[in-house]
Amino acid sequence: MKFNPGDVYNEVFVVADEVYHGFTQLFKDRNPLHVDHSFAREKGFDGVVMYGNILNGFLSFFIGESLPEKNVIIHSQEIQYKNAVYLNDRLDFKAVVTGVYESVNAVEFKYEFRNSGSKVVAKGKFQIGILP
Amino acid sequence: MKFNPGDVYNEVFVVADEVYHGFTQLFKDRNPLHVDHSFAREKGFDGVVMYGNILNGFLSFFIGESLPEKNVIIHSQEIQYKNAVYLNDRLDFKAVVTGVYESVNAVEFKYEFRNSGSKVVAKGKFQIGILP
């Protein structure tokens, strides 16, 4: 097992224009909060709010590509959205191993995304399995 | 409030080629389970496994576009992956309102995705807020 409790991983993700527009095109979510600047401002935001599920796409990359073990599958994910993410936000991602369950080949992580103002924009946990 | 406990919503989503390839391009997750057919088969799957977070993209569409209220934001999501999803799978999605919290303008849902063999491939819950 390549994971130990307390192991920390860091990544940086940018919600670039192509990620935002690519997500809109891919999943066809044109809710006004995500595409209508004046609607979003009327609701008290600084501009259109990025899709929360872009962060789940970043998690997919992290789990599939950044871990020292490629032989993995996701069992479950949780995410809580704490603050709005805006276009071009640079997000510092940090994940910590919180549990290693060798008997069932599973590893649990806690994670958070922070924006450049050091505000937590989202946090949660996920569990992966190591494929036999 | 346009939601009542027990309200049921249904959608159909297809993990079409453009969704699969679009997700790979967007989030750059080229983990072998998702892109290498012989690796996936060696691991006991019928072919490359679709990204679980494609289902979270479908959830984004459902919440942003299918609900009777457009004035919403996601507070939190949970997903448990139960069975592999394959290319071109047609997924029946069902969501049920499990809680309406008028004092904080929040609504909680349980949901599941089933494949054409009626197997639950993923399930979970999410909470949305109604924007003031």
Report pLDDT digits (tens) over B5-44: 999 999 999 999 999 999 999 999 999 999 999 999 999 9
Report pLDDT digits (tens) over B69-100: 999 999 999 999 999 999 999 999 999 999 99
Which pLDDT value is given to residue A1?
78
Question: Which candidate from B27, B70, B78 shows the least CB-CB separation from A60?
Answer: B27
Task: Tell me the pLDDT of chain B averaged across its residues.
Answer: 97
A95, β-bridge pairs: A9, A111
B48 secondary structure, DSSP code: P
Question: Which candidate from B33, B61, B81 shows the least CB-CB separation from A27?
Answer: B61
CA distance B33 to B30: 8
Report pLDDT digits (tens) over B35-77: 999 999 999 999 999 999 999 999 999 999 999 999 999 999 9
Cross-chain Cβ contact B70/A32 below 8 Å? yes
- Which residue segments constitute the domains of chain A, with CATH numbers given? 8-130 (3.10.129.10)
Residue listed under structure tokens 């095109």:
A25
User: What b/e readout covers A58-67, taking b as 16+ CB neighbours within 10 angstroms?
Assistant: bbbbbbbeeb
Chain A residues in contact with B26 by the CB 8 A cut-off are 19, 22-23, 26, 57
Q: What is the mean pLDDT of residues B98-110?
A: 97
ipTM: 0.97
Cross-chain Cβ contact A33/B59 below 8 Å? no
Q: Which residues of chain A have pLDDT under 50?
A: none
CA distance B127 to B99: 9
